[in-house]
């Protein structure tokens, strides 16, 4: 599959994950579950790079990320973007199935 043929949901997921990873890397504060958030973002990135994310795994990663960084208000906008991107995979795509 060429980049022009990439599922737009995957493109959105990749973009949202990249933005949150950058913001998390730039965030100066330390918090207990930062490593968990980084690992799950890497997992989401790998699933998006593969092009066929598994919905249960997407949701699990999202929950772990939200639990890990949900209290860091500076990261809330980017976390919301990742959530919206994951939600694109839930249910049938309009015009299909």
Going residue by residue through the chain (97 aa), what tens digit of pLDDT does each one get? Answer: 445 678 899 999 999 999 999 999 999 988 889 999 999 999 999 999 988 889 999 999 999 999 999 889 999 999 999 999 999 988 544 554 4
Q: What is the pLDDT of residue 4?
A: 65
> 3-class DSSP state for residue 42?
helix
* pLDDT score at 91: 56
pLDDT of residue 95: 52
- pTM of the shown model: 0.84
Give the residue among 4, 93, 8 at the shortest CA–CA distance from 48.
Answer: 8
| Cα→Cα distances 68→3, 47, 83, Å | 32, 20, 14
How many helices, marked H, and strands, marked E, lie in the chain?
A: 4, 0
What is the separation of C-alpha 29 from the centre of its chain, rounded to a whole number of angstroms? 21
Each domain of the chain, given as residue ranges in start order, spans 8-90
Contact criterion met (CB below 8 Å) for 44 and 17: yes
């Amino acid at each position: 599959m060429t980049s022009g043929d990439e599922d737009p949901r995957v493109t959105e997921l990749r973009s949202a994950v990249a933005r949150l990873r950058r913001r998390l890397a730039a965030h100066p504060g330390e918090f207990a579950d930062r490593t968990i958030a980084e690992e799950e973002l890497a997992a989401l990135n790998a699933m998006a790079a593969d092009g066929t994310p598994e919905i249960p795994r997407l949701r699990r990663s999202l929950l772990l990320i939200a639990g890990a960084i949900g209290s860091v208000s500076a990261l809330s906008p980017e976390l919301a973007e990742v959530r919206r991107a994951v939600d694109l995979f839930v249910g049938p795509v309009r015009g299909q199935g």
